[in-house]
Amino acid sequence: MACPPDRLPLQVALPTPGQRLDERDLCLMVVHANYDYIATRLLWFSGLTELAFFHMQQAVEKYLKAFLIARGRDFSRRTHDLGDLCRKCAEVDGWFAQPPWPEWCKRLAYFSEVGRYPQERFGGWGFNSGVLDYLDEFAYTVRERMPLPENCEDVLGDLCRGQGWIVEWLGKTHWNMGFLDAFFVSNNYFRHQADGRHG
């Protein structure tokens, strides 16, 4: 079942009258970072690890860019250099300079090509399933350090609270439990509200 036209991400995240352009850019970047984060977990638990790593790289890139937008910092919107983006974030917030983030971002940058181009193949790079723990912590912490304007879509928060269009849509699909399992399994940062924590 496709997402209803009135719920397409770009329409959900469009600015309201009077909203500043930087708020619009921030909302769009976070919306797409959240979708890449969710795609990573779905693909990982479906066994499609090359695509999972591509979406992981995309999520981290967009979270880094969103953080820089939120803090009013200049950067090249076309860059895929996670190491450079992480360094720019560290100039604003020392958390990004702490291990493992600089090295993790640098290594993860490799996957901007894997999954995008068929000739690029995943070489392993010593990653294992623990990489999801890093992604979960990264996404959760960056979101905590970057308050969003009120009208931004928050699909991760909605999943954790059991509300919103994505939960309503999942209720109409036959793969509801598989999706929720892929999102919540082994996730120490984003939990269903029933577990006492939320995103």
Question: What CATH number does residue 172 fall under?
Answer: 1.20.120
Helix (H, G, I), strand (E, B) or coil at 117: strand
Q: How confident is the model at residue 123 (pLDDT cuts 50, 70, 90)?
A: low
**Quick check: is 11 in a domain?**
no
Residue 112 lies in a domain: yes
pLDDT value at residue 130:
81
Which band of pLDDT confidence, cut at 50, 70 and 90, is reported for residue 175? Answer: low
Q: How many percent of the chain have pLDDT more than 90?
A: 35
Residue 7 lies in a domain: no
Tell me how many helices (H) and strands (E) the chain has: 9, 0
pLDDT tier at 117, thresholds 50, 70, 90? low
CA pair distance 19, 80, nearest whole angstrom: 28
Mean pLDDT for 50-77 is 92
Most confident of 11-25, 30-44, 120-134, 175-189: 30-44
Assigned domain for 107 exists: yes
pLDDT at residue 135, rounded to an integer: 94
Q: What integer pLDDT is reported at residue 56 of this predicted model?
A: 94
For residue 6, name the pLDDT band (cuts at 50, 70, 90).
Answer: very low
Measured distance CA(185)–CA(178) in Å, rounded: 10
For residue 155, being part of any structural domain is answered with: yes
At 119 the pLDDT is 54
For residue 78, being part of any structural domain is answered with: yes
Q: What is the pTM of this model?
A: 0.80
21: in domain: yes
Query: Is residue 12 included in any domain, yes or no?
Result: no
Domain hosting residue 152, numbered range? 17-194
- How do residues 11-58 score in pLDDT, each as one tens digit? 334 444 444 558 888 999 999 999 999 999 888 888 888 888 999 999
- Domains: count for the chain: 1
